[in-house]
Chains A and B, each alone.
Chain A
Amino acid sequence: MARSLMLDTIDRSEEGEQWDLIIRAGKGWFNLHLRDLWRYRDLISLFIKRDFATFYKQTAFGPLWYIIHPILVTVVFNIIFNKIAGISTDGIPSFLFYFSGSVAWGYFASCLDQASGTFVKNAGIFGKVYFPRLTVPVSVVIINLVKFSIQLALFVGFYIYFIAGGSTVRPTLFILLLPVLVFQMALLSLGMGILVSSLTTKYRDLTYVMSFAVQLWMYASSIVFPASRVPEKFLPFYMANPMVSVVELFRYSFFGKGMHDPFYIAISWAVTVMVLFGGIMLFSRIEKSFMDTV
């Protein structure tokens, strides 16, 4: 009885009323809620503050790890790949070569790692309240800038020390484009991260695959050897890995040596944009049904 009354009123009021929010079944592939994302910018900044504060509070050394980690990695790479395997570093001081690689890769890898946990790690909150889910991975790529800046400053310190010590490496004007490189890494890790995060809602074992996939990816990204060592005929395939171009340009801007062919830069950007769009499409599809499958 009550229901039939209801239906009457619904039929009458379809006359172009203004609604602030319409929730329907629609399974759109590309709904980013960009306006919502902007409206929730305070949330992004608080997520950043939270992660920063908890990092300080939880670990004894806090940000000291940011410094120890790349130095240790650099020393190990230096011994294994340069001293033992004898891989050339294109005339760049090997310490700086590995350090630059691990700083750039470090940013990308930790963004990717954290962004790929978006759905699974936040299932509790996501099940209880709505906010644009994209705030989580976006805050991840921003918070990691802090760590990246610290490591970059450390790198610049060593860089100046080496130049003062008589090294012949010199920066190029490309160094002005450094923010663009960081931006590209942020976009790529965001895209890849949300792609993986969406897939892990269906396939939980992907989480384990990811941890070693990132390791393997690193070895295929010019971190331990320069792209110039790659045979000519494999180069186009090799450069399809967007991180190669990023790392090579990073080195080129500081050392004047490294791949900086505009064609490869374009490919790298094209792949980055494709990954990002693919990630966003899957993410916006998964975020709607996610709570029903977890």
Chain B
Amino acid sequence: MPQTVIKVDGLSKQYRYGVIGHGTLYKDIESWWARLRGKEDPNVRITEHVGPGLDGEWFWALRDVSFEVQQGEVLGIIGRNGAGKSTLLKILSRVTTPTTGVVKIKGGIASLLEVGTGFHQELTGRENVYLNGVILGMTKAEIKSKFDEIVDFSGIERFIDTPVKRYSSGMYVRLAFAVAAHLEPEILFVDEVLAVGDVEFQKKCLGKMEDVAKEGRTILFVSHNMAAIRSLCRRTILLDKGELLMDSATNEVVAHYLGQNLVGGAVASKADIEQRMEGKINRSNPSVRFRRIAMLAQDGVPKNSFDSDEDIIVSITFECLRAVRNLHVLVSVVDENNFPILSTQNVDDSTITTNFHRLDPGVYDASCILPGNTFGGRRFFLTVCLVNLKTEHVTVKKILEFEVKFQGYNNSYGGSGDVFFRPRLKWMMRPVDGEGLSIHQR
């Protein structure tokens, strides 16, 4: 029977909004002296700001979280930003203490909340390997025995005796991760460290993590990369606003999490959009503003779940507050990791009737049709962008989520169609004369 190696029981962590104290002794004494004389504290902030963020207000970064981890388990931890993932790892790795609750751990732990902790610019690669390794919990003897392996993994043998300040950022990260990868604790906490380095190196890191997991070590892995979570972890917990929302098989939890992220439905209102706007935005005197972004079926009814043979209409309503020249409207389809799959612009279509080279003030609607029989059966997100060349560049990322249900073609079995594209393409098949069979014929 597998042994429980981590037991988290009723773990909570409370933080305080804003500034704690005044930060300087001088001001604390000043306040104290004023209170002593019955005068008004000169350091009390005059603020009309109410609601979250008010000084002195407490909030729970983690609230009554309990779970157990068995030996050899690779547990994924997911959740939105601010859900408490990093706080949880920080408590487990003893960087900070819980407000209430207990964590019990069996076996040696090491945590990777960052690669290259304690690297010193002036020291050589070799010296830094030792320093970093020991900071992460290895002994000098352990590092010595693995030194060649570490250098080999990093792939920077030639520069190992060069000060790291001369390294490129890529080399730096590779060396740092190489050290981390050779930690051999019974329990490892990893926080998003794979989000560094190039794709090649990330793959190498993921591979290494898989190896470590196969060796029967216990790993707690925090990530926003659902692909990595899916491939590494069998079980995943989902945190939301500090609470443990779900603890189950990875597929189930990830599906729930991605579903949970869905904004509204098929229509995003002005307020939804403005919350998510980024880019070059002229807030005080905008020339164009989004009014509404919607996904519609052919009959004009909003919806966000489509059959794969249906056309999908993306409708963007915006307002020009001044006359605008050369307005570009961009629509992109991205996956859950924000990876762009498809992109299209209003200016692509030469048959467009409105003269987009000059738009008078007023409200406009730009629509594009994503034709049926294009997408595979999975979830997608819509990113929309308005570009008023040189002055404004407003992007709303992943503003709507939609799903496509793959229908199959010609009533034949076509698999689940869980790919980005599953278009109906032209195929040809014919017998080839004089090839293949010809050997037997002669």
Which residues of A does B touch, CB under 8 Å?
2-3, 6-7, 9-10, 13, 17-26, 40, 42-43, 45-47, 49-50, 53-54, 57-58, 124-131, 202-206, 209, 288-289, 291-293
| Set of chain B residues within 8 Å of A9, measured between Cβ atoms | 4, 68
B36 within 8 A of A: no
Q: Do A54 and B122 touch (CB < 8 A)?
A: yes
Instruction: Check A2/B247 contact, CB under 8 A, given A46-B130, A49-B127.
Output: yes
The docked-state distance in angstroms from the alpha carbon of A131 to that of B104 is 18
| Set of chain B residues within 8 Å of A202, measured between Cβ atoms | 21, 23
B113 within 8 A of A: yes
Number of interface residues of B (CB under 8 A): 56
B95 to chain A, nearest CB (A): 6
B431 within 8 A of A: no
B45 within 8 A of A: no
Which residues of B does A touch, CB under 8 Å?
4, 7, 9, 15, 20-21, 23-26, 28, 66-68, 90-109, 111, 113-114, 117-118, 120, 122-123, 127, 130-131, 134-137, 139-140, 163, 244, 246-248
Q: What are 9 inter-chain pairs, A to B, with CB distance below 8 A?
A: A2-B244, A6-B68, A24-B97, A46-B134, A53-B123, A131-B135, A204-B23, A205-B24, A209-B25
| Set of chain B residues within 8 Å of A57, measured between Cβ atoms | 122, 163
Given contacts A20-B107, A53-B122, A292-B15, 17 further A-B contacts (CB under 8 A): A3-B66, A3-B244, A9-B4, A13-B4, A21-B104, A21-B109, A22-B104, A23-B97, A42-B140, A45-B140, A50-B123, A54-B122, A58-B122, A129-B117, A131-B137, A203-B23, A203-B28
- What are the 10 tightest A-B residue pairs by CB atom distance, in nearest-first order? A130-B94, A203-B25, A2-B247, A23-B103, A205-B24, A19-B104, A21-B105, A54-B122, A291-B96, A128-B114
A230 to chain B, nearest CB (A): 30
The docked-state distance in angstroms from the alpha carbon of A127 to that of B130 is 20
Chain B contact residues, majority secondary structure: mixed
A169 to chain B, nearest CB (A): 42
Q: Do A22 and B102 touch (CB < 8 A)?
A: yes
Chain A contact residues, majority secondary structure: helix
Instruction: Please name the residue on chain A nearest to B61 by beta carbon.
Output: A292
* Count of A-B contacts judged by CB separation below 8 Å: 134
The docked-state distance in angstroms from the alpha carbon of A45 to that of B26 is 38
**8 Å CB contact of A203 from B24, B68, B104:** B24
A66 to chain B, nearest CB (A): 19
Interface centre among A6, A40, A204 (most CB of B within 10 A): A6
The docked-state distance in angstroms from the alpha carbon of A10 to that of B8 is 9
Instruction: Check A129/B108 contact, CB under 8 A, given A3-B247, A291-B96.
Output: no
Q: Do B96 and A6 touch (CB < 8 A)?
A: no
Instruction: Please name the residue on chain B nearest to A11 by beta carbon.
Output: B9
Instruction: Please name the residue on chain A nearest to B104 by beta carbon.
Output: A19
A185 to chain B, nearest CB (A): 27
**8 Å CB contact of A24 from B101, B111, B135:** B101
The docked-state distance in angstroms from the alpha carbon of A288 to that of B113 is 18
A142 to chain B, nearest CB (A): 15
| Set of chain A residues within 8 Å of B68, measured between Cβ atoms | 6, 9-10
The docked-state distance in angstroms from the alpha carbon of A128 to that of B92 is 12
B9 to chain A, nearest CB (A): 5
**8 Å CB contact of B105 from A10, A20, A40:** A20
Q: Do A125 and B117 touch (CB < 8 A)?
A: yes
Instruction: Please name the residue on chain A nearest to B245 by beta carbon.
Output: A2
| Set of chain B residues within 8 Å of A288, measured between Cβ atoms | 96-97
**8 Å CB contact of B106 from A19, A54, A204:** A19
